[in-house]
Each structure stands twice: as structure tokens, then as C-alpha cells.
């Protein structure tokens, strides 16, 4: 270990207790609005407040819009999340005590219900989500070839994702799912703002299912 090592005791026992309240406002056949609020006490990180808001709105009988926004927390488990690096010859360098990860996130979804002959149905959906991290535990593999540098976020970290998906029974007992996802993820590391490693920017999926009689 070197001078950056903060504490040799990384055993921890987290106990979390909390209360949750939710209010739901409904306009039948048109809209559902849900507002949630959660207050937790974490023995490692203290009091955590998590607000959340969800909205579902029926634009037409077959087109539905959804929106969500809120805050989130997460305890980082660096060792279990870096198992492959533990098997390397790199030295783990902890530059600061871990803080709890927290972020604000929001997103929207549009879902169109499709109807085909012979009572066949399908859906087409579009999703857009954005996450802004307030704090994040960074595992930096790029700063040094001999070290794994671990520290709290000092700067920006965000994620933007878009997904389009089509799923339908295109023929009797033959179902097809076709999807595309675009990820744009950036994080501030010790060497500056970079595109987050090991996150695939473009993803595609084609899945078919056929059921016999």
C-alpha cells in the first residue's frame, strides 16, 4: 500500500430503515399521477431522502405516454465489482474514503399499441432516459498501467440512452422482437472528461419465437 491508502478496514455492515409515502391522483381512462417520497437512515451514510414522480397519460386509446423523474442512491461494492482486476498485478490505490453514490434521473416513454388482422397485436415503443450523477465511485484503469485508482467523482458524470423497440405477432404463433439502443455515457476521471470505458454505444436485438399447435 502507498500514501494514498486511507483505511485497511473495508468490512462494513449497513443497516437501513426507512419510511415511504405515496400519493396517487387518477383521471379514469386518461391519466395517473404518482408522487412518492422515501426517507431512510443508513448506518454508514446517515439520512437519505429519495423523491420520485411518475406520470402516465393516455394520448389516445392506443398511444400512451409515460414520464418519470427522481433521485437515487447506491452503495458501491468496489471489490466485488472489480473481481477481474483483483486477479491482476495492479496495486489498488484508494485516494479517498468512499461516499455513497447518488444521481438524479428522468425519462419519457411513448408506447403505441398495434392491431393486426386475425386478432394479432403488437407494440412500438420509444424510450429516452437521462442520468446526472452527483457522486460516483470511480474505478480508474487508465491513469496508470500498474494501478487501479479508486476515488469519488470530482466533476461530471452522466448517461443518456435512447431505445426503440417493436414487438408483435407478425403471423399466427410467430412473434418477433426488434430493438435498438443508443448509449452516450461520460465520466470525469483524473485525466479529464472521457467516454466511459466498456460501455457499448450501439446495441441491437432481433428475437423470434414460434409456437406449434
SS3 content of the chain, % helix, strand, coil (to 5): 5, 65, 30
Q: Is 97's pLDDT higher than 60? A: yes
At 36-85, the pLDDT tens digits run: 999 999 998 999 999 999 999 999 999 999 999 999 999 988 888 888 88
Nearest Cα to Cα of residue 174 among 104, 97, 118, 129: 118
> Do residues 196 and 185 lie in contact, with contact meaning Cβ atoms separated by under 8 Å?
yes
**What is the reported pTM?**
0.85
At 29-40, the pLDDT tens digits run: 899 999 999 999
Amino acid at each position: 500500500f502507498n500514501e494514498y491508502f486511507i483505511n485497511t478496514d473495508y468490512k462494513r455492515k449497513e443497516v437501513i430503515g426507512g419510511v415511504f409515502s405515496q400519493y396517487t391522483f387518477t383521471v379514469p381512462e386518461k391519466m395517473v399521477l404518482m408522487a412518492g417520497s422515501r426517507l431512510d437512515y443508513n448506518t454508514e451514510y446517515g439520512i437519505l431522502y429519495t423523491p420520485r414522480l411518475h406520470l402516465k397519460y393516455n394520448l389516445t386509446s392506443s398511444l400512451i405516454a409515460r414520464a418519470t423523474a427522481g433521485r437515487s442512491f447506491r452503495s458501491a461494492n468496489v471489490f466485488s465489482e472489480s473481481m477481474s482486476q483483483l486477479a491482476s498485478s495492479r496495486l489498488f490505490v484508494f485516494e479517498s474514503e468512499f461516499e455513497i453514490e447518488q444521481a438524479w434521473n428522468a425519462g419519457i416513454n411513448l408506447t403505441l399499441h398495434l392491431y393486426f388482422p386475425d386478432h394479432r397485436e403488437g407494440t412500438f415503443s420509444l424510450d429516452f432516459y437521462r442520468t446526472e450523477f452527483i457522486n460516483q465511485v470511480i474505478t480508474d484503469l487508465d491513469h496508470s498501467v500498474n494501478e487501479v485508482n479508486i476515488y469519488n467523482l470530482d466533476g461530471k458524470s452522466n448517461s443518456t440512452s435512447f431505445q426503440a423497440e417493436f414487438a408483435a405477432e407478425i403471423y399466427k404463433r410467430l412473434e418477433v422482437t426488434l430493438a435498438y439502443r443508443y448509449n452516450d455515457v461520460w465520466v470525469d476521471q483524473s485525466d479529464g472528461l472521457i467516454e466511459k470505458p466498456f460501455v457499448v454505444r450501439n446495441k441491437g436485438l432481433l428475437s423470434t419465437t414460434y409456437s406449434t399447435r
